Each structure stands twice: as structure tokens, then as C-alpha cells.
Chain A
Amino acid sequence: MTEACCIVVGASHAGGQLAVSLRQQGWEGRILIIGDEPFLPYNRPPLSKTFLSGEKHIEDLLIRPEAQYEKVGIEFLLGQRVKSIDRNNKTVTLNKGETFAYDKLALTTGARVRPLAIAGSELKGVLYLRDISDVEHIRQFIGKGKKAVIVGGGYIGLETAAMLRKLGLQVTVLEAAERILNRVTAPQVSEFYTRVHREEGVQLETGVEIQGFVGQDRVEGVQCGDGTVYPADLVIIGIGVIPNTELAQAAGLEVENGIKVNEFCQTSDPDITAAGDCTNHFNGFYQRNLRLESVQNAMEQARVAAATLCDKPIEYNALPWFWSDQYDIKLQIAGLSSGYDELVIRGDQNGSRKFSAFYLSKGRVIAVDAINNPQDFMFGKQIITRKLLVDKAGLSDPEISLKDFLKK
């Protein structure tokens, strides 16, 4: 009998964790990770921060060094793309034609940037930020005094703006909606980040309709609907991501804004699991389907998927959380605020750089944005998961410790 083989498609954060978890859960067969980037699994969050600034190098980004994978017999095939999955014969075929048989398959294909296809988007210096090669590309265009225009006032755009300011560039952020972070935070938190970025010297414009990029060979400016042209030596577009689901879809797996998985990270084929940004899964806490873009979700789902593949199922049940570092501000977000009916601010949002925003629904906290306020984040997480009814006056008073809420 030949040993069982698990193939992991995608050498992502989820992919690497899934392989390691397989070993930890007792998978004795072969483990092969196939990835289209030429790198071992790496941490993406530093890309827009310390990797962009040059403080960190590729080897610092790697989640684990090569030797550690070798030690536990995890094999890699890097710089190769899987073209198709044959579920009947249980094989995957690479672009180059090579075919591998699997007993179990895990899809950790992640997401890719949403492209902005408008006039001039092919010009040199019109860039995105998602992987190592993107940042290496960006680095060729940056330098003190250069003009950078960021398209999109989401977390990626704002983190990049913060780092480029630190590197001495002139930075403009253009946002299509009426406020930055429109999709993910309350207006008060958007106002706070608007103030901070302006204090740090970023030109920040909202309600901007971008018509195209102008320039000969290289980008020279961003043309807007009201006739304004923002001069640019480089443009970084950060308008969201698209899950990589084509492979799953072509294989006949159920796909709906992500690869559909159950609470055990199983797809509609029981021998195939999926984990990370590419999945669409049911969240028991919020009672709805979610597709999350976060390290935490990638790691949690990877562990759950590995357990499933080892026939030791554990249920996925995690409160989503996120973080964002900009300037001297650490934002920690617990939960999802969508659908909140009341907001409680704890601390001074207008003058300081430390406060928290609690999102409530029917009197219970469903999410918290903690700004330089790690205790509110940590205790907030517990208040959310324990579904406590909270006294709003107490919640808004920074003098009252949140610990007291948990004792009740």
C-alpha cells in the first residue's frame, strides 16, 4: 500500500499552517504544498509596513524557515500553478501538465487584488499591494519627496499612506465613498483616522470619482471627475480583493462569494477542505455566512481543516478579530460591526489618539474598535463572546474598568 497523500493548493498563511497542523494532528502520509509564488508561506501584514519600509527582509517574513518544514517532511512545489482538479480520479494537474494524485486535498488559494481597469491603468507606476513582488515593485518607485497617490481609503491604503509618509513621500489618498473606512467602521472612527492622516500631512479627499491615469509611459497624474488632476510619481490601488475560487468552481465545488465550507472547513466534496480568505463559511456567533480576510481566520480554519482531514473533527467557532498599525496607532478590532444600532465611544476621539468605539445591537456589544487601547480590545472580546448586557454609561467611562463588567 502506498502512503496517503495530502496536497495543499496555495503556499499561503493558511496553507503552511494547515500542513503543520496535519503533522501535529498525526497525519503520517505525504504532504505536498503547491504554490504559485516562489516563496515559502510568509506573513503578509508586514508587507504594507516594515517590509515596505525596508526594515524587514524576505527571510524575516517567512512564517517558518525551510529547515523546519523539512524536519517534519512537508514538501513544497513553488512557482507552480495548479490548473485543474479531477475529483473523480483524485488528481491535480499543473499548468505545465504534470499530474499528482491525492487522497485528501486542501484549498488555501487566498485572494487577489481587485483590479481597477480604467484609462491609463497599464502605465508604469500604477501598482497594487498584495504580495512580496508587489512591494518589491513599489520600492522601485518610492523616494523622499516623491508624490504617491493612494486609490482607496481602506486599511491597506491607509497603512500604506502612513508608511510612505514616514519614508518622506508626499501622499494623497483618494476615496470614492463619502468617508474613509466606510464599509468597516462607524463615522466617528472614520473621522478620527481622517484627522490623524491630515495631522501627519496626508492630503485626504473623499467622494472622488477617478476617471483615469495620465502619463506617457509612466504615470504622471490621476484624473478625476471634477477635472482635478493629482500629480503622481506612483499610484497604489487598494480597493479590495477577490477570492481565488476559479479552480474550485471548475472542479464543480460549491462556490458563492468564496468556496463554500461547513463548520469543519469541508467543501461540498468531503475529501476536499478549504481554509482562509478563499472560503465562505457560516459564523455561529453572527448567524450568517462570512468571507473573512484575516490572518486569524486563515490560521483557525487551517487547524480545523487539518483536524477534519485527520478524522478528528473540531468545529470552527471563532470571534473574528483584526488589527491595523498606522503611525503610532495600533487599532485592534474584535467582532464585526455590520448591523449595529448604537455606538458607544469610550475616551476622547477628537483630541487624543486613544479611545474605543463599541458597536451595540439590541443592547449587546457585537464589535469593538480599540485604538491604542489593548485592554478594551481584550476585555471587549470577552464581553462580546459572553453576550453580556452592558451598562452604557459605564461603558463610556474610561475610569471604569471593563474587567468589572466581566465579574457580573
Chain B
Amino acid sequence: MPVVTYISHDGAINEIEVASGTSVMQGAVDNMIDGIVAECGGSCSCATCHCYIDEAWLDKVPPASEMEKDMLECVLEPEDNSRLSCQITVTDELDGLVVKLPASQF
């Protein structure tokens, strides 16, 4: 099973096995990782699952939709590597993915 590493804002590292086909957000929620809120349950409606993709993985993650891009411009402290984790589906190709979580989702 692919492994995703979640690095919390305080530096805590969680290496989690996330089944292919599951979103990066769901992997965090399933494992009760604090930094992801995911109020809308993954329908790209709330931007409370914001994460930063580790630079090494940027070109391997499929690009964001227009809707997601629009939402990302409004999150707290957006960066070029900002994504909504509900919109990233884990695949075998993403085994080893590293994401960093923001200080706050609100």
C-alpha cells in the first residue's frame, strides 16, 4: 500500500499507509491527523484540507482544477505548492508522497 507522509505544522511526522484510490485528505482523516479538517467531506467546497506538496513531488501530482485553484487563492498563507488534499487521489505512483500541513485551516 502506498505510504504518505504528513508533516504537521509543529513538525510531527506521520507516515501513513493510504490505499490507492483514496484521497490524501481521507488518509489524514482516517488516521485522525489534526491538521486536516475536511468539513465538506471531500467535495472541493470548503478549503479546510489545505496542504503543501513537498517540492520533490510537485511534478508527479496531477494539476488542480480551476475550481480548486480559485479556492486555493483564498486560503490562509497560500504558496505555489498549495493543494486541497481532497482533490489528490493516492496511486502507486505517489507512494512516498510528502505533504506539509498549514498552521490553520481557517
Contacts and interface: CB of A to CB of B under 8 A. Distances in A.
Interface of A: 20, 23-24, 43, 45-46, 63-65, 68, 72, 295-296, 299, 321, 323, 325, 330, 332, 372-375, 378-379
Contact of B45 (A20, A24, A68, A330): A330
| Residue of B32, B37, B45, B73 ringed by the most chain A CB atoms within 10 A | B45
B39 A299 contact: yes
A323 B43 contact: yes
B41 A63 contact: yes
Contacts of A68: 30-32
B74 interface: yes
Nearest to A24: B32
A65 B39 contact: no
27 contacts: A20-B32, A23-B32, A24-B32, A24-B34, A43-B41, A45-B40, A63-B29, A64-B29, A64-B30, A68-B32, A295-B39, A295-B41, A299-B37, A299-B39, A321-B46, A323-B43, A323-B45, A325-B43, A325-B45, A330-B45, A330-B67, A332-B45, A372-B67, A374-B74, A375-B70, A375-B71, A375-B74
Contacts of B40: 45, 295, 323
Interface residues of B, number: 20
B97 interface: no
Q: Is the contact region of chain B dominated by helix, strand, or loop, or is it mixed?
A: loop
Contacts of A64: 29-30
| Residue of A20, A63, A374 ringed by the most chain B CB atoms within 10 A | A374
Contact of B30 (A65, A374, A375): A65
B47 interface: yes
Contact of B74 (A45, A299, A379): A379
B32 A45 contact: no
B70 A45 contact: no
Contact of A378 (B34, B41, B71): B71
Contacts of B67: 330, 372, 374
A73 B41 CA distance: 23
Given A295-B40, A296-B39, A72 B74 contact: no
Contacts of A43: 41
Contacts of A65: 30
A330 B71 CA distance: 12
Interface in B37-86: 37, 39-41, 43-47, 67, 70-71, 73-75
B32 A72 contact: yes
